[in-house]
Amino acid sequence: MTASTEFVPPPNSRRGDWTWELVTMFPRQGEWTESDYLRREFDGLVEYVDGTLEFLPMPTFSHQDLVAFLYEQLNSFIGPKRPREVYFAPVRVRMKSGNCREPDVAYIQSHRISTSDRTQPSNGADLVMEVVSPDPRDRDRDYHEKRSEYAASGIREYWIVDPENQTITVLVLSGAEYHLHGEFKLGTSATSQLLPGFEIDVKTCFDSIDPPA
């Protein structure tokens, strides 16, 4: 008979201990449900993935500069035609897998959003943008994990904005997979296949990062 390796917290926490009484109020990683996730408020960006919570890094000022620029560009293009269909994080988007992601910027047509309960995640999205953070784990998430999940969820276009490489990669859905529409570098403009006429000058995009005075 092997001894159990399951951790059992002490019955009462004392000064200097973790506050186990609070910890045990929440599900274990792997046991969260979507309803558990949705009924709680979190500080920062938290995604629901395969029964676990993924805590995203706190955005830097440079990250937020880029998100603001991308949102303004996309909203100024779509807004006059389809008001209130461009959003920025935190906004929860339900994947076909049942996971909930929080893209940095998202174009979500109104039919995807519940009219009776706007606290619910949208049912997918039409175009999403992610600004890549420098941490290797976060880069892998944006370039690989989210690429697969966004494609599987039928999101028609995915923009990966990478300040480290100063590139904007635009992926378009073809069947069940993304194909490269273009990897746009300084001196060029990133273009959309989904939204003809929408483009972003790459240099102007990264110049939007406002250095401290």
Model confidence pLDDT, tens digit, residues 80-128 = 878 789 999 888 999 998 888 999 999 999 999 988 887 888 999 999 9
Domain with residue 184: its CATH number is: 3.90.1570.10
Q: Is 120 part of a structural domain of the chain?
A: yes
pLDDT value at residue 22: 78
Q: Is 29 part of a structural domain of the chain?
A: no
Q: Is 52 part of a structural domain of the chain?
A: no
Whether residue 153 contacts residue 85, with contact meaning beta carbons closer than 8 Å, is answered with no
Q: Is 45 part of a structural domain of the chain?
A: no
Q: Is 123 part of a structural domain of the chain?
A: yes
pTM of the full predicted structure?
0.83
Sign of the dihedral through C-alpha 10, 14, 18, 22: positive
The band of 47, judged by pLDDT with boundaries at 50, 70 and 90, is: confident
- Domain of residue 65 covers 61-207
For residue range 170-202, list pLDDT tens digits in order: 999 999 999 999 999 999 999 999 999 999 999
Q: Is 7 part of a structural domain of the chain?
A: no
- The number of folded domains in the chain is 1
